[in-house]
Chain A
Amino acid sequence: MGILEVRDLVVTVEGKKILKGISLSLEKGKIHALMGPNGSGKSTLAFALAGHPDYLIEEGRIFLNSEDITKLPPHERARRGLFLGFQYPPEVEGVRLREFLRLAAANCHEPFCEFQKLYLESLAYFRMDELGERELNVGFSGGEKKRSELLQMRVLRPKVALLDEPDSGVDVDGLRLIAAGIEEAARLGTAVLLITHYPRILEHLPISKVFVLDDGHIVREGGPELAWEIERSGYEAVRG
């Protein structure tokens, strides 16, 4: 059994069925890619797994580390080691990244001294020293927001990280940094689900598995070669 097991997940948003029976399994320390055209349901899956109240799980179950978390509120999932890297992280005025993350880390059982060390080290790792005292995502560029999400993941050390398009709107240097962060997390044991619709970032990473999502179904599942097939022929060709 994988560290994250999703079984027959059906999800509706505002009464509309978006995910129509998703099953997948994520392995500890491995990087999995979730690909698919716009509107196929990739972000919906990420939000539903993290427990967003607007994404209603109608059927199916989610297991994290063998525990059924299907009905848990978002913070309980996070405290058990689930992390969602947002595609569009919201701005939170007046709340400094450091104080927010300290609170988050305390909830995820990270002792303070450990946190302080990890935080400073991670700021340097993602070249964000100048952002550490800034308000959470306020006035961050697209690339800075993505690095801030990765920084949060690095500090919280989750068991499972769902990363929703960490590569979009990021320049080449930023992309290398983000890829390095993802690879490091996997090396330290995090199971990563990397959501993207461009194979570009995958070139930098050792991918163990690729899921292709289309119209609320997983239509293909395979090794890294599946990503190259999509790169060459587009989603039309890989649809089942």
Chain B
Amino acid sequence: MKRTSVGLTAELIEEISREKGEPRWMLEHRLRALEIFRELPMPRFGPDLSEVDFSDISYYLRTVEPVGSWEELPEEIRRTFEELGLPEAERKALAGLGAQVDSEVVYRSILEEVRAQGVIFEPMEEALKNHPDLVREHFMKVIPPEDNKFAALHGAVWSGGTFVWVPEGVEVAIPLQAYFRMQTQGVGQFEHTLIVAEPGSSVHYIEGCSAPRYTKAALHSGMVEIVVKEGAHVRFTTIQNWSRNVYNLNNKRAVAYAGATMDWVSGSLGSKVTMLYPSTILAGKGAKTENLSFSFARNGQWLDLGAKAIHLAPDTSSRLVSRSVVQGKAKSVFRGKLYVAPEAKGAKGHVECSTLLLSPEAETETIPTLDVRNHEVEVGHEATVGRVSRDQLFYLMSRGLDEAEALSLIINGFVSPILKEIPFEYAVELKRLLEMSFAEAIG
């Protein structure tokens, strides 16, 4: 086991970089990001982050050496992955699977026919060695460290994650999946995911995550950067189930060029606090994005979610849809942002967020921002907040459903516009997670 000292210093950054045997430019990038991190303020909006103590986090921990098969993993971790259904999903239907424990990817596989198509699916560290130019061309170009304090932190201490490159015209028929596990108390996780889809290609990437619950607050600050070139299609699905001591503060952004399509699907179930605003920059004519989000905020959680579409080119279109369920003393926020540039004539954008409150103390806020700089556009915004109506509940019960069944059906129906977009056979453990969430929400 290799573990760095606690705290955030230039020496620590150098130690991580040395440990990974990185090229000079990456070390310089890390050190520059650390400088930027020190200068930038904490976010001025959203949840209270005062519990996050940057000096009390282990930034790097290699818990397990990478292995070539599930059997070689230590018993405890292997059992965890089996319970999560990862080996089964891999056998059944995935094009590739990566599994990370704490700071490093410990297992990775890719179907031979997918590899034969020229697809690269590698842990970031390996990709940095095997494809240095390709990684350097794109790494933190979509989200530079200057973007915000957590982007800078990530740039300084990132470890693990996945690099995906899909060659021109190649369609990866079944999804690739990554799974992130924070296993050890006090260790932060900062995986970096970079996906480059060459023109006319397509890929669906699914990520899932979990952690055992510890009393101490933990920090996860991952980054996802996606480049969707002309006519390509990327779909990125996240099922987030961090334990309720985790601060989950992410950066996710894609650039979509002419005729490209970028779809984000996010399910937020876990964490103590989440800040997540997947964004798409629609940089080329006719580029499209869809951003679908569902969340369950339960007692003690603050899920600060959102979506952004930045229309920079003509005839681009976006659809941002959110469904949130809030139970107990919890808070759910949705920030839907549309920016339409002067040159983005003919742009279409739609923001729609609905919230279902299950308890009197549940809180919700929807914050739409429509910044439209030309007149030849169609943009719209809708927001609704509702409670489960007594009439609906009585109606279903009058047909023989007990209260829990009726409530579960109503919640299920409410989130179904998003859920139906998620392939259950690939999204490991989602069904069980949802059932557990419903059961807890119903009380």
Contact = CB atoms under 8 A, between A and B. Distances in A.
Number of chain B interface residues as a range: 20 to 34
A92 B412 contact: no
Residue among B394, B400, B409, B414 with the highest chain A CB neighbour number at 10 A? B400
Contacts of B401: 75, 103-104, 107
**Secondary structure dominating the interface of B:** helix
A104 B400 contact: yes
Given A89-B395, A94-B417, A75 B410 contact: no
A166 to B, nearest CB: 15
B399 A100 contact: yes
Given A94-B412, A100-B396, A75 B417 contact: no
A62 interface: no
B390 interface: yes
Contacts of B55: none
B397 A78 contact: yes
Residue among B390, B397, B401, B410 with the highest chain A CB neighbour number at 10 A? B397
B85 interface: no
Residue among A53, A92, A136, A152 with the highest chain B CB neighbour number at 10 A? A92
Interface in B390-438: 390-392, 394-403, 405-406, 409-410, 412-417
B389 interface: yes
A204 to B, nearest CB: 26
A78 B395 CA distance: 11
A152 to B, nearest CB: 7
Contacts of A77: 398
B394 A135 contact: no
Contacts of A84: 398
Contact of A73 (B389, B397, B416): B397
Contacts of A90: 389, 391-392, 395
B413 A135 contact: yes
B400 A95 contact: no
A127 interface: no
Contact of A93 (B391, B396, B414): B414
Contacts of A128: none
A240 to B, nearest CB: 32
A90 B416 CA distance: 18
Contacts of B412: 94-95
Given A75-B402, A78-B400, A107-B401, A92 B410 contact: yes
Given A92-B392, A103-B405, A108 B400 contact: yes
A50 interface: yes
Interface in A99-123: 100-101, 103-104, 107-108
Number of chain A interface residues as a range: 20 to 34
A92 B409 CA distance: 9
A79 interface: yes
Interface in A62-84: 73-75, 77-79, 83-84
Given A79-B400, A94-B417, A74 B409 contact: no
Given A54-B390, A93-B414, A94-B412, A86 B395 contact: yes
B296 to A, nearest CB: 15
Contact of B395 (A54, A92, A94): A92
B396 to A, nearest CB: 7
A94 B415 contact: yes
Contacts of A187: none
A183 to B, nearest CB: 22
Interface string B120-136: 00000000000000000
Residue among B389, B395, B405, B412 with the highest chain A CB neighbour number at 10 A? B395
Interface in A170-193: none
A222 B363 CA distance: 55
Nearest to A78: B400
A31 interface: no
A101 B394 CA distance: 15
A210 B68 CA distance: 79
Interface string B168-183: 0000000000000000
A51 interface: yes
A194 interface: no
A52 B394 contact: yes
A156 B416 contact: no
Contacts of A92: 392, 395-396, 409-410, 413
Residue among B394, B403, B415 with the highest chain A CB neighbour number at 10 A? B394
A75 B405 CA distance: 10
A95 B409 contact: yes
B395 A95 contact: no
A77 B400 CA distance: 8
B391 A75 contact: no
B397 to A, nearest CB: 4
B399 A78 contact: yes
Interface in A123-152: 135-136, 152
A104 B311 CA distance: 47
Interface of B: 389-392, 394-403, 405-406, 409-410, 412-417
Given A51-B397, A86-B395, 20 more contacts: A52-B398, A54-B390, A73-B397, A74-B394, A75-B397, A75-B398, A75-B402, A77-B398, A83-B399, A90-B395, A92-B409, A92-B413, A93-B413, A95-B412, A95-B416, A101-B399, A104-B396, A107-B400, A108-B400, A156-B400
19 contacts: A50-B398, A51-B398, A53-B394, A54-B390, A73-B402, A73-B403, A75-B399, A78-B399, A83-B398, A90-B395, A92-B392, A92-B395, A92-B413, A93-B414, A94-B416, A95-B416, A101-B399, A104-B399, A107-B400
Q: Which 5 A-B pairs have the closest CB atoms?
A: A94-B413, A94-B416, A107-B400, A95-B413, A104-B399
